[in-house]
Amino acid sequence: MTTLDLALEELVTANRILAREGVVDAFGHVSIRDPGHPDRYVLSRARAPECIEVTDFIVFALDGTPIDAAGRQPYAERHIHGGIYEQRPEVHAVVHNHSPAVIPFGVTGVPLRPLMHMCASIGSVVPVWDSRAVFGDTNLLVTNLPMARDLAGALGDRPVALMRGHGCVVAGPSLRDVVFNSVYLQLNAELQLKAAGLGAITFLTEGEVDAVGRTRSSFTHERAWEYWCRRAGRKYDPRPMSGPLAEGR
**Binding residues vs Zn ion (CB under 5 A):** 77
CB of 198 to Zn ion, least distance (A): 32
Q: Return d(Cα 95, Cα 49) in angstroms, integer.
A: 11
- Closer to Zn ion by Cβ: residue 77 or 177: 77
CB of 124 to Zn ion, least distance (A): 25
- Closer to Zn ion by Cβ: residue 26 or 201: 26
How far is CA 190 from each of CA 26, 112, 129, 197, 228, rounded to the nearest angstrom? 21, 10, 20, 11, 19
CB of 166 to Zn ion, least distance (A): 6
- Closer to Zn ion by Cβ: residue 78 or 221: 78
The vertex-175 CA angle with 223 and 31, nearest 5°, equals: 155
Q: Based on the residue annotation, tell me whether 77 is a catalytic residue of this protein.
A: yes
The residue among 41, 49, 36 whose CA lies nearest residue 4 is 36
Q: Return d(Cα 26, Cα 74) in angstroms, integer.
A: 15
Catalytic residue among 77, 190, 226, 247: 77
Helix (H, G, I), strand (E, B) or coil at 197: helix
Active site residues: 77
